[in-house]
Every structure is written in structure tokens, then in C-alpha cells.
């Protein structure tokens, strides 16, 4: 099935079976350069495919690589879930669900590109898949449970008590919106999550890592960027963006596209 957006950018819709339900995905193909490792987008804690807007298509054009975005289980158009997330859910995304995507698309090597908590998942992909990760890109990655992050999430939980604010979330997640919100706030604000980090996974990386962070990120300090640079055992390119918050790919997509395209020029 083909989906054509208002900008006439074509993507292909996929539904991928997993042990716990189906994942919804869209792929923006670059068939003439199929030998290049495709980019797999990993969304943030309230995200989904549709919230990437036109960024995947623009990323395909900038990098000349196929770009795949998917809704994690429980989000967007993927199957619902009712369980509570454990602190291990970030690594489990790489261990349980990413293999289903790779099998479905017949992918041997890929570039995980994660935003926010998706950045932590991208790091876990590097640890789990090793050399099958051609490179790793993180944007505003949350790599440990920082006080600044937890305080911002606590404030957001109050904000989403507003009916209008919650309605915006429901627009993208439908009747799953309440679970999506609790999966974010309840999980991150639980006592068990305060010791969570992906520093062990960072120390296992061999792939080159591009870590991007805004100096005005309201959900995480530049300590996350320093952690990526200091702990990763693979080569790290760290980019601190001035006057940028938590979502640089929306705040200045041209800057993000240029950074990622330049980084991936040397990656097969």
C-alpha cells in the first residue's frame, strides 16, 4: 500500500509482526542506492511516525539512503499494550522489536537514529548489534535519569491534565494516548528508574556515533553529550547546537540534515 502526502512525498506502509503485536512502519525508499545502510528512526517518549512530519523524506533526500520510521508497540498505529514499562524497556527495544523490523525489511546493516529516549535505544542498538550498526545518530539523547529530565517530566504530567493538551496527544495515539502518557511519566518518575542509564551500552560501542544536543534542551543538560563523548568506546562526533531545545529536527531541520548527511558521507 502506498501513501502520498500533501507534499507528494511517497512512502510505503508496513505492518510488522512481533511476539506481542504488530508494529506500524513507513519506509521512504532510495532504491538506486539500496546498498547503503538504511536509517532507522527511533521516536521519543510521546512520539510516533506521523510526528516526524516531513523529516524522514527530507532525510532520505539529504543522505540518499532509505529511511524507515516506526511506531513502538503501544504508540501511534501499532498494536495496543496495557502493561507497565520496566526500566529495561530501552534496551528491550533493541533486543525484542528491532530484530523483527530488520527481518521484515531484509536489513543486514543499518543506522539507528534516535531522538530523546530513542537516542538511548539507538545506543542500545549499537551494543546489541555491534558491527551491524554502520553508524549511530542521537538527537537530544537521554542516556541516564538526570534530575533536570525528571523535573521536566513531572511538570509535563501536570500540563497533560489539561484537556486540550491531552486532546493533542490523542490526535496521534487515539485511545492509546492514556497509556502512552503513563508509560512516559509513571515509568520515568518511578523510584526504580532513578538509577537507569545506558552507560554500560555506551562502553560497548564500536560504531561511530554522532551525538547532537541543544544547549537549551529543557529535558536534558549537556551532561548527556559529555557522557556520550567520554564513555563511548567508538569514535564520537559531538555537536552542541546553540539556541536549540529538545527537538532540533523541528526547530532547524536544515541544520540537522546537514549534520547527519555530512557524518554519513563516509559510511557505506
Say how many residues make up the chain. 268
Domains of the chain: 2-264 (3.40.50.1820)
Closest listed residue to residue 44, CA positions, set 140, 160, 123: 140
With a cut of 50, say whether residue 1 has pLDDT above it. Answer: no
Measured CA distances, 31 to 35, 61, 168 (Å) = 9, 12, 35
- Res 74: pLDDT: 98
Residue 115 pairs in a beta bridge with 139
pLDDT (tens digit per residue) in 90-149? 999 999 999 999 999 999 999 999 999 999 999 999 999 999 999 999 999 999 999 999
With a cut of 50, say whether residue 8 has pLDDT above it. Answer: no
Assess contact for 169 and 46: CB atoms under 8 A. Answer: yes
C-alpha–C-alpha distance, residues 102 and 105, integer Å = 5
With a cut of 80, say whether residue 10 has pLDDT above it. Answer: no
With a cut of 70, say whether residue 32 has pLDDT above it. Answer: no
Segment (H or E) for 239: strand 236-241
**How many H-runs (helices) and E-runs (strands) does the chain carry?**
11, 9
- Res 171: pLDDT: 97
Torsion of CA 177, 183, 188, 190, to 10 degrees: 120
Where b means 16+ CB within 10 Å and e means fewer, 18-56 reads: beeebbbbbbbbbeeeeebbbbbbbbbbbbbbbbbeebb
C-alpha–C-alpha distance, residues 29 and 199, integer Å = 33
Give the mean pLDDT of 53-58. 97
- Res 7: pLDDT: 35
DSSP 3-state of 46: coil
Closest listed residue to residue 187, CA positions, set 84, 114, 82: 84
pLDDT (tens digit per residue) in 80-93? 999 999 999 999 99
With a cut of 50, say whether residue 5 has pLDDT above it. Answer: no
pLDDT (tens digit per residue) in 183-227? 999 999 999 999 999 999 999 999 999 999 999 999 999 999 999
Closest listed residue to residue 63, CA positions, set 215, 212, 264: 264
Residue 26 pairs in a beta bridge with 13, 69
Lowest mean pLDDT among 23-37, 175-189, 191-205, 239-253: 23-37
Average pLDDT, the chain: 94
Q: What are phi and psi of 250, to 5 degrees?
A: -100, -35
Q: CA Rg, the chain, in Å? A: 17
**DSSP sequence for 126-155:** HHHHGGGBS-EEEES---B--HHHHHHHHH
With a cut of 60, say whether residue 77 has pLDDT above it. Answer: yes
Assess contact for 246 and 14: CB atoms under 8 A. Answer: no
- Res 229: pLDDT: 96
- Res 9: pLDDT: 52
Closest listed residue to residue 124, CA positions, set 85, 91, 89: 91
In this structure, what C-alpha cell is assigned to residue 240? 552542541
pLDDT bucket at 161, cuts 50 / 70 / 90: very high
pLDDT bucket at 268, cuts 50 / 70 / 90: confident
- Res 3: pLDDT: 31
Assess contact for 68 and 41: CB atoms under 8 A. Answer: yes
Amino acid at each position: 500500500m502506498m501513501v502520498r502526502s500533501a507534499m507528494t512525498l511517497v512512502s510505503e506502509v508496513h505492518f510488522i509482526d512481533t511476539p506481542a503485536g504488530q508494529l506500524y512502519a513507513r519506509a521512504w525508499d532510495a532504491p538506486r542506492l539500496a546498498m547503503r545502510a538504511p536509517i532507522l528512526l527511533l521516536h521519543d517518549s510521546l512520539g510516533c511516525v506521523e510526528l516526524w512530519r516531513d523529516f524522514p523524506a527530507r532525510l532520505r533526500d539529504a543522505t540518499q539512503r532509505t529511511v524507515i520510521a516506526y511506531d513502538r508497540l503501544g504508540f501511534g498505529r501499532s498494536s495496543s499494550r496495557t502493561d507497565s514499562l520496566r526500566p529495561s524497556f530501552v534496551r528491550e527495544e533493541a533486543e525484542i522489536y528491532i530484530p523483527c523490523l530488520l527481518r521484515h525489511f531484509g536489513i543486514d546493516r543499518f543506522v539507528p537514529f534516535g531522538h530523546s529516549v530513542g537516542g538511548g535505544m539507538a545506543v542500545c542498538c549499537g551494543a546489541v548489534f555491534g558491527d551491524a550498526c554502520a553508524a549511530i545518530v542521537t538527537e537530544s539523547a537521554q542516556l541516564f535519569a538526570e534530575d533536570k529530565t525528571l523535573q521536566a517530566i513531572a511538570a509535563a504530567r501536570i500540563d497533560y491534565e489539561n484537556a486540550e493538551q491531552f486532546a493533542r496527544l490523542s490526535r496521534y495515539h487515539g485511545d492509546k494516548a492514556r497509556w502512552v502518557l503513563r508509560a512516559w511519566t509513571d515509568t520515568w518518575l518511578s523510584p526504580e528508574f532513578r538509577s537507569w542509564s545506558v552507560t554500560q551500552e555506551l562502553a560497548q560501542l564500536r560504531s561511530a556515533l554522532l551525538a547532537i544536543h541543544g544547549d537549551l534542551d529543557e529535558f536534558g543538560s549537556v551532561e548527556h553529550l559529555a557522557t556520550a563523548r567520554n564513555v563511548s568506546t567508538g569514535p564520537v562526533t559531538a555537536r552542541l547546537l546553540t539556541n536549540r531545545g529538545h527537538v532540533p529536527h523541528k526547530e532547524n531541520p536544515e541544520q540537522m540534515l546537514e549534520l547527519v548527511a555530512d557524518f554519513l558521507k563516509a559510511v557505506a
